[in-house]
Amino acid sequence: MIAIPILAGVLALTAGDVEIVRASDPPAQAAPAPKPCTAPEHRQFDFWLGDWDVTTPDGKTAGHNRISLILGGCALREEWTSARGNNGTSLNMYDGGSRKWRQTWVDDGGTVLLLTGELKAGKMVLEGEIPAGGGKTSRERITWTPLTGGRVQQLWDSSEDGGKTWKVEFDGTYAKKK
């Protein structure tokens, strides 16, 4: 039987130097990876976070909405319940690749809405298209505006003529639940 000595370390060549690394040495500590979704752009829509009562311009209750930060701060989740009992939800996130905000909305009426946009003059403006029947499309634009007293206005407009004229679909004022 031939005995072969076991090497207790490993030789590493770095820039012409020899470094001995022993198996018992702790592993080198890599710099911590930067935390995702911490750039200021990811916080642009945070004014919408909260548990809200939503009213129409005439003061009637439109519904309730809960907006929460999820996925380590990388997305906002919307949970909507209308005064009539309809429900919907959206997922909102800043897409660093396109430098745009994106929203995917779905509701219990079968509506799917994909919106893209950005913060403009302090307002979040997202737009997209949905089928309007007869092979046509409807342009949808939703604008969220921070108001005094921590309130938020959501204005949803639609256009069936490519944006030449707009019709208000929904105008709601958000006030934090007490």
- Residue 171's CB: how many other CB atoms inside 10 A? 15
pTM above 0.85, yes or no: no
Question: Residue length, the chain?
Answer: 178
- Enumerate domains of the chain plus CATH numbers: 40-176 (2.40.128.20)
Name the pLDDT band for 9 (thresholds 50, 70, 90). Answer: very low
pLDDT of residue 10: 41
Span 78-135, pLDDT tens digits = 999 999 999 999 999 999 999 999 999 999 999 999 999 999 999 999 999 999 888 8
Mean pLDDT of 41-51: 98
Tokens of 144: 């969220």
Residue with tokens 């959206």: 90
